[in-house]
Structure 1
């Protein structure tokens, strides 16, 4: 089973307001856009990881309905300690769901496409591959697919670090899929990022 962990539990410190609820395009918000794309793929199941105080206003009724049966929302009580804790929360859920592969996705990448997600999901993961990562200009970017043998390493994550950290230390072997679409990997962290997003969305 291939399971996606959609990390949506950030505190938006640099934005100053809750960024996932900010309007993006049409009826979508920053947080909902990537999730809509993910739901259009053949992923088996999705765990949406949120903080305890999340009012979920960034998800409209149609999105919640579409998620039902194909995934679920998981509250991470330790999310305020950093992204590593949210990641661990999702990995534990995926293990309990008998995952064979886990794809880590970020909720603040509103330009992420169905095409990129599908290429990553359908790339052959050999027995020697610990992971398959997206890459732009040779730099690894989420989403990243991890094999089952990496689950224990992902469970060791803590602090405000993402999945790229365990790749950066060189202990895992994998491959990168190079993509030219810079916008797809744009994450929205600051008011300046959001203004840039608004200028690019059309």
Structure 2
């Protein structure tokens, strides 16, 4: 059985240049688009979620996520090099996860509102019963 400190890296630093506006701020049902996969991650069995933002803001995050106890499960991390590409954002997320003493990482993209808590938990389950996987990526 693997150590259970698993940190989700939530990549939310894109510029949305092809969209013309920040797609994470687009209204979708009762929340902004960027909050859906985040809600799934926060309600999953992940131990912590590091939200990587290019400008250090995340005004698209649903206000209910700021309430206790869920607010202790996540933080926004500013990545000043995010404009150079997704690999730079990923590196910022890995640094944030290392600071939380992560044994493993799960990478999630903020612009995928159909990701569910069940999907995340199933990947976590398979990670925990497999001995040869060190990184779980959810795209």
Q: Work out whether the TM-score is over 0.5.
A: yes
* 5+ residue gaps, structure 1: 133-141, 144-184, 186-202
Q: TM-score normalized by structure 2?
A: 0.87
Q: How many angstroms does 1:57 deviate by?
A: 2.3
Determine the structure 1 residue equivalent to 2:61.
59
Q: Which has the higher contact order (CA 8 A, sep 6+)?
A: 2
Q: Which runs of 4+ in 1 moved over 6 A?
A: none
Determine the structure 1 residue equivalent to 2:87.
84
**CA–CA distance in 1 between the matches of 2:43 and 2:65?**
12
Aligned to 1:17, the other structure's residue is in SS state: coil
- Pairing of 1:1-202 with structure 2 (within 5 A): 1-25=5-29, 27-52=30-55, 54=57, 56-65=58-67, 67-123=70-126, 124-126=129-131, 128-132=132-136, 142-143=137-138
Larger Rg: 1
Aligned to 1:69, the other structure's residue is in SS state: helix
The answer on whether the counterparts of 1:35 and 1:107 sit within 8 Å (CA) in structure 2 is yes
How many residues matched? 132
The answer on whether the counterparts of 1:24 and 1:110 sit within 8 Å (CA) in structure 2 is no
Coordinate RMSD, CA, aligned: 1.6
Q: TM-score normalized by structure 1?
A: 0.61
